[in-house]
Amino acid sequence: MRLGRVLQVILVLSLALAALAGAAFGGAALAVLQPELARSTAGYLAVASKAVARLPQPARAEGHGRQGADDGYVIDAVLGVDQVVAGQVTVTYTNDSTVDLDRLVFHLPRGVQTVTLEKLDGAQAGRDAARDGLTYTIPLKGQVAPGAQVTAVLKYSTFLAQGPRRQGISDGGGLWLINDWYPSLDVFDGEGWHTGEPAAAFGDYSFLATATYKVRLTTPAGLNAYAPYGDRGRVVATEGSAQTLAFEAGPVREFALVLTNEHGAVAEVGQARPTLAALYLAGHEPAARGALAAARKAIDTYSELFGPYPGPGFVIVEAPITDFKGVEFPGFILISSAQYEQGSGVESVIAHEVAHQWWYNQVGSDQLLEPWIDESLANYATALYFEKEYGPAAGRSVLNAGAFTLYRSRRAAYPESSVAKPVTAFATEEEYKMMTYGRGALFLQALRETMGDKVFFAFLHDLATRHADGYVTEKTIRDEAAAAAGRDLSDLFDLWLHRPDGQLPR
Ligand SMILES: [Zn+2]
């Protein structure tokens, strides 16, 4: 549903984009296109694609993703009119496996409308690239050998939803949550590509490798940007009511950002690193200050437990979202306005989302196929935060409320369920949460009791630092836990993660 104010934004932006594309169209064509632009996606795409075509050819991605010394993304995109993002993404990827690559497999954003392969360097495209759901596969004729590098340039357009969700444009048009917005290479593990579809209504959307990013984005002027680690971007051009911003980031798990003209901001004073800021909506400054204080304590606690925080800054962004209490992105999180209004529980939401800066951003895991890994670690870390800050009784109480009660109260409804399964294998959000957040966190407590505190915390710290900018699977965790404990722990893993609920000892 499009409201009046958004229509205004759209109209203004139409004019801006038309102005941007003016050189290509000439004045006479603009007069014809403007009314068309204001109401049709096709009209917008015509202008946006011309605007994108005018952009300089992308340089090769630079920097250092996990896969290779100069792997990464270069993204040039225009966003705005009719809620469409149109752009070009250049992905440079080094085959770090020991086998030839016979294809490249991309994850597409949920709102994808069009995607085409523009150019391929380092390999020859095979028969036609094909899209299946949110997976886009480019077959390769000349295979990419181990150590060889390949660069693909895709053009694409994708739709941003409007409304109170973790991605999209707010009803008033003053807040843009830009995530899951570009095609990204799936993860190749040496045997196959990790592809997976997100569930319709819960869980995360993608699993990506860390990479470096160079991003150039044309947006409505007057919106302030907050990208990974609080990067505000650099204004490289303004034309009419459009601005073009440039960012560099990485290695990060994904490039997400927030654009806003609605927020007040508070920042922590002092020299501590990372720098902290919180963006709040009208009336919520005290809540934002409380969240800021909790975030500092959580970052300090987790830095001690899991190793250093991975970036220079961290931002808490209040958003009027109704689908999540909080959502994690590299270097920033969203927290729902409802959470601030409710008052209680803010500290545990902050502790949970901050923990994802280690378990998801720094240490990846397949959030579609093994969603329990980052969620159980973040949820258990929340209990650890309360334990370290307020004592063992507080830690137990948070584990009790956030995991045990959650799990126990619903278990009768899902007697055959288990923890370690893909997000789409959970029938409901309730089942997903009780297993991945609830029983998954209880598993970590059981692991701790089995290993003893000293060994368990050394194991967690090693897991986080050893796999920083990489990713872990259940097998990684199982093998490293066994090595740390000096004995096989398969029975414990099987019992807690794979056996149906009913077989868990009382
Ligand atoms: Zn989480």
184-225 pLDDT, tens digit each: 999 999 999 999 888 888 899 999 999 999 999 999 888 999
What separation in Å is there between the alpha carbon of 158 and the centre of ligand 1? 26
For the segment 389-407, the average pLDDT, to the nearest whole number, is 95
What separation in Å is there between the alpha carbon of 437 and the centre of ligand 1? 8
**Are residues 333 and 226 in contact, defined by beta-carbon separation less than 8 angstroms?**
no
**pLDDT computed for residue 20 by the predictor:** 39
**Are residues 420 and 372 in contact, defined by beta-carbon separation less than 8 angstroms?**
yes
What separation in Å is there between the alpha carbon of 184 and the centre of ligand 1? 22
What separation in Å is there between the alpha carbon of 487 and the centre of ligand 1? 30
**Are residues 108 and 205 in contact, defined by beta-carbon separation less than 8 angstroms?**
no
What separation in Å is there between the alpha carbon of 450 and the centre of ligand 1? 25
| 332-337-339-340 Cα dihedral, nearest 10 degrees | 90
What separation in Å is there between the alpha carbon of 470 and the centre of ligand 1? 19
Rounded to whole angstroms, how far apart are CA atoms 216 and 54?
13
Rounded to whole angstroms, how far apart are CA atoms 336 and 356?
17
Apex CA 456: angle with CA 451 and CA 461, to 5°?
160
Please give the residue that has the higher pLDDT: either 64 or 299.
299
For the segment 149-161, the average pLDDT, to the nearest whole number, is 95
Tokens of 312: 């220079």
What separation in Å is there between the alpha carbon of 328 and the centre of ligand 1? 7
What separation in Å is there between the alpha carbon of 495 and the centre of ligand 1? 23
Instruction: Map 345-405 to HEC letters.
Output: CHHHHHHHHHHCCCECCCEECCCCCCCHHHHHHHHHHHHHHHHHHHCHHHHHHHHHHHHHH
Per-residue pLDDT of 357-369, as tens digits, reads 999 999 999 999 9
Rounded to whole angstroms, how far apart are CA atoms 119 and 155?
10
What totals of helices (H) and strands (E) does the chain contain, helices first? 14, 22
Give the DSSP per-residue string, 326-345. EEEETTEEEEEHHHHHH-TT
**Are residues 180 and 109 in contact, defined by beta-carbon separation less than 8 angstroms?**
yes
What separation in Å is there between the alpha carbon of 130 and the centre of ligand 1? 32
For the segment 84-108, the average pLDDT, to the nearest whole number, is 95
Q: Is the pLDDT of residue 349 over 50?
A: yes
| 216-222-223-228 Cα dihedral, nearest 10 degrees | 50
What separation in Å is there between the alpha carbon of 333 and the centre of ligand 1? 11
Tokens of 181: 């917005």
What separation in Å is there between the alpha carbon of 42 and the centre of ligand 1? 37
Residue 172 banded pLDDT, cuts 50, 70, 90: confident
What separation in Å is there between the alpha carbon of 494 and the centre of ligand 1? 23
Which of these ranges, 27-41, 222-236, 375-389, has the smallest mean pLDDT?
27-41
Tokens of 174: 């003053």
What separation in Å is there between the alpha carbon of 436 and the centre of ligand 1? 9
Using the 8-state DSSP alphabet, how is residue 428 labeled?
Answer: S
Cβ within 8 Å of residue 42, ≥6 positions away? none
What separation in Å is there between the alpha carbon of 381 and the centre of ligand 1? 11
Residue 505 banded pLDDT, cuts 50, 70, 90: low
Cβ within 8 Å of residue 57, ≥6 positions away? none
Q: At 21, which amino acid appears?
A: A
Q: Give me the long-range contacts of 488-491 (CB less than 8 A, separation at least 24).
A: 489/447, 489/450
**pLDDT computed for residue 65 by the predictor:** 31
Rg (CA), the chain: 23
**Are residues 193 and 158 in contact, defined by beta-carbon separation less than 8 angstroms?**
no
**Nearest to 437, CA basis, from 337, 326, 341:** 326
What separation in Å is there between the alpha carbon of 379 and the centre of ligand 1? 7
Which of these ranges, 159-173, 305-319, 436-450, has the smallest mean pLDDT?
159-173
What separation in Å is there between the alpha carbon of 179 and the centre of ligand 1? 16
Q: Is the pLDDT of residue 30 over 90?
A: no
Q: What is the pTM of this model?
A: 0.87
Which of these ranges, 13-22, 299-308, 400-409, has the smallest mean pLDDT?
13-22
Residue 83 banded pLDDT, cuts 50, 70, 90: confident
HSE (side-chain half, CA atoms, 13 Å) at 168: 22
For the segment 281-295, the average pLDDT, to the nearest whole number, is 97
Cβ within 8 Å of residue 239, ≥6 positions away? 16, 19, 20
Residue with token string 């800050």: 389
**pLDDT computed for residue 35 by the predictor:** 34
- Per DSSP, the three-state class of 106 is strand
Per-residue pLDDT of 223-271, as tens digits, reads 999 999 999 999 999 888 889 999 999 999 999 999 999 999 999 988 8
What separation in Å is there between the alpha carbon of 433 and the centre of ligand 1? 10
What separation in Å is there between the alpha carbon of 372 and the centre of ligand 1? 10
**Are residues 45 and 108 in contact, defined by beta-carbon separation less than 8 angstroms?**
no
Apex CA 445: angle with CA 444 and CA 448, to 5°?
85
Average confidence score pLDDT of the chain? 86
What separation in Å is there between the alpha carbon of 356 and the centre of ligand 1? 7
Residue 135 banded pLDDT, cuts 50, 70, 90: very high
Beta strands 175-178; 224-226: pairing state: unpaired
Q: Is the pLDDT of residue 444 over 50?
A: yes
What separation in Å is there between the alpha carbon of 378 and the centre of ligand 1? 6
Tokens of 85: 């993002």
**pLDDT computed for residue 286 by the predictor:** 97
**pLDDT computed for residue 71 by the predictor:** 85
Residue 68 banded pLDDT, cuts 50, 70, 90: low
Find the helix or strand (DSSP H, E) in which 324 lies.
Answer: none
pLDDT > 70: percent of the chain: 85
Residue 9 banded pLDDT, cuts 50, 70, 90: very low
Beta strands 257-260; 264-267: pairing state: unpaired
Q: Is the pLDDT of residue 99 over 80?
A: yes
For the segment 433-444, the average pLDDT, to the nearest whole number, is 96
Using the 8-state DSSP alphabet, how is residue 451 labeled?
Answer: H
Rounded to whole angstroms, how far apart are CA atoms 358 and 361?
6
What separation in Å is there between the alpha carbon of 210 and the centre of ligand 1? 18
Q: At 279, which amino acid appears?
A: L
Q: Is the pLDDT of residue 388 over 80?
A: yes
**pLDDT computed for residue 165 by the predictor:** 92
Beta bridge partners of 248: 214
- Per DSSP, the three-state class of 79 is strand
Q: Is the pLDDT of residue 16 over 90?
A: no
Rounded to whole angstroms, how far apart are CA atoms 238 and 168?
23
Q: At 126, which amino acid appears?
A: G
**pLDDT computed for residue 159 by the predictor:** 95
Beta bridge partners of 225: 259
Residue 175 banded pLDDT, cuts 50, 70, 90: very high
